[in-house]
Amino acid sequence: MEVTFYNRTGKPVAFLVKNEDENIISLWNGIAVGYLFEDQIYGWNGKQLGWYIDGIIYDMRGFQVGFTKHRCPVIVTRAPVKPKQLVKGTKQLRELPGKKPPLTKRFSLVELENLLETGRCQ
């Protein structure tokens, strides 16, 4: 199963590939930048990036930064064709989860693509 993530303007930024073993988050260039573990989003580098709850991605401060199509506050634009293959680096050891802040309906100052890019393995 695949899910597209949109930023607050409705632009498709990333997608989630769910299978039996992994829940990988990739950018449209095919580079895996993160994954889901329970309701937490981790970068490939092991850093916690935020939470994914009920179709909304929240940053570490509890602000909304990304959305599925049905949770996006604006009309979404069409997603590009997904790459045939994902480029995955070596997944680093996951850090301990941060304390979940109160979740807000306000938008994060960080753009979704920038947040996900911070999870890239160097």
Q: Along the 122 residues of the chain, how does pLDDT read in single tens digits? A: 789 999 999 999 999 998 888 899 999 999 999 999 999 999 999 999 999 999 999 999 999 999 999 999 999 999 998 888 888 888 899 999 999 999 999 999 999 999 999 998 76
- Which pair of structure tokens corresponds to residue 6? 């949109």
For residues 41 and 57, is the Cβ–Cβ distance under 8 A? yes
With 0.85 as the threshold, say if the pTM is over it: yes
Q: Name the residue among 5, 6, 17 with its Cα closest to residue 83.
A: 17
What phi, psi does 85 have (nearest 5°)? -140, 145
